[in-house]
Chain A
């Protein structure tokens, strides 16, 4: 997959997807600063970061639907109880 044309990476030409992913990983190393760390520190950082991300995704997958449903019920409890006539007035 070549990077999209407007992407900063378009100045680099990659032979294949693997090379592109390696470049992305390199950017990740540089931006977070973990490029300078020793391998064991890198793996600690990566595992902490990825487990945090995984937890966020998991919790949102588990809890967001419930909260959304509760919120919907709550608001429909407030607005649903309004008499029809208010709507008519507003129109």
Chain B
């Protein structure tokens, strides 16, 4: 599945390295081919495993090397992974058979007797997967915690006597688990310090909420202050905040586009963006992940052909991308996207949920990271859930845009306003990042996060793990592939007092299960070192060091000429 004619050894002494985003299932065969002349010329050239998105011919647009790698799945591992799923599926069918004939008890929701002849509710693949694969390793998810989810976290110990169908709490607490799973990029998830204090103070003064919408009687001075602060933080004219990040996306995109509009969406966009795009009723076309050739082709087609059948021009074309993709750890190629958007006169919607605060020298997200002008992005969206340790989302941009949204967005009209303590947490942490509190804590945290990220990624790569994504992204996905290893990795790590997030289908393609580490500024060097040594130990135990890439000092050097080919059609 992960092999294609394009990855087969090239003939002669020219070693072609295929560089594309993810595996071919997702990315098709549209890719750029980099020819490398310097690699062992006589030797029969092996399919080169490493795929690096070097900042190719657009070098000039990037102020620092844009290194993004998605090492290809080793063939043997892919085969074994499919075999593992095959075996588990067979046992799944066996168990379903037993349940059907009432030989064993069914613990999960199913149709009632009276509903027997109705359209089946629980028969699709995802239900099968939940019942027969996910339930077996369910102890790795939804672990209850009983402390602030900072750099360390306390877990409530639980056991299961019926193989994860039910859990019992033993009453013991697993103390000081190193937390590599929270989106706590800047370490603002704290229960002490200035943020917590001011939030407590505001709670005493304002209470916890007014149970009304912003348009009715829920509008507080703190909300207005926050909006001004967000606009200032991002360097745009105006901003607007919402109580929930997910709703910010899914309710505002429908306000921006409608019938006769075209949405060009990255294939790995978050569910909230997908939902928003679908609710809007516009035509949606999906381009390959972070693939600018694919985006350009769609844009060009959209402009040349217009709407289907009528061939009228599209009313609006909206490009929807994210700053950091939370499952791949990749960073959007924003300079190129902005270039395309300007050239084809499209609009750009940028979701900075993970990147705001976490990227850029000043913590202003991807725009800052690439040193671009925030006014080039038409709609800046982000959430306060990650870096700011709060909840909610914002939309920022031109004054006209925000005024329009204030009266047209469903989440502005119908949703209750943000709770004042949450607002206060955001204000305090944002001021801290901006340095307005008179300290350098914010700056230090942004720098510390960048350092931690580079260090953690480099060490993992040196150990021989397959790591996805951009060098500078604090989301670090490490490939596990095999279904049993998802469960084993989470359990073995917890046994050694490290909490990690493991991800499998449906959040990732079925064979690309992974562990996702989220680096935080709150992690000290000792914690990271301890975590790394444990990861290495577990990696040896479970044989996770799949990488066949030599550690090269420089990744972008060997490529002297670069050919972009469109082999799509």
A-side interface residues toward B, CB under 8 Å?
8, 11-12, 23, 26-27, 29-38, 41, 45
Contacts and interface: CB of A to CB of B under 8 A. Distances in A.
A12 B539 CA distance: 10
A38 B132 CA distance: 11
B542 A33 contact: no
Contact of A30 (B88, B94, B482, B545): B482
B87 A45 contact: yes
Contacts of A41: 91, 94
Contacts of B540: 11-12
B134 to A, nearest CB: 10
A31 B80 contact: yes
Interface in B55-111: 80, 83-85, 87-88, 91, 94
Given A30-B482, A41-B91, A45-B87, A35 B487 contact: yes
Contacts of A31: 80, 83-84, 482, 484
A90 B512 CA distance: 58
Contacts of A26: 541
Given A8-B543, A37-B136, A38-B163, A32 B87 contact: yes
A35 B492 CA distance: 13
A37 B91 contact: yes
17 contacts: A11-B540, A26-B541, A27-B543, A29-B484, A30-B482, A30-B543, A31-B83, A32-B84, A32-B87, A33-B83, A33-B85, A33-B483, A35-B487, A36-B483, A36-B484, A37-B88, A41-B94
Interface string B529-569: 00000000000111101000000000000000000000000
Given A30-B488, A30-B542, A36-B136, 18 more contacts: A8-B545, A30-B485, A31-B84, A31-B484, A32-B84, A32-B87, A32-B484, A33-B83, A33-B84, A33-B87, A34-B87, A35-B488, A36-B88, A36-B483, A36-B484, A37-B91, A38-B163, A41-B94
B87 A12 contact: no
A23 to B, nearest CB: 8
B137 interface: yes
Nearest to A41: B91
Nearest to B541: A12
Q: Is chain B's binding surface mostly helix, strand, loop or mixed?
A: helix
Interface in B454-497: 482-485, 487-488
Nearest to B89: A33
A51 to B, nearest CB: 16
Nearest to A13: B540
Nearest to A29: B484
Contacts of A8: 543, 545
A14 to B, nearest CB: 12
A8 B74 CA distance: 16
B88 A33 contact: yes
A76 B485 CA distance: 53
Contacts of B488: 30, 35
A35 B163 contact: no
Interface in B123-178: 133, 136-137, 163
A32 B483 contact: no
A82 B167 CA distance: 79
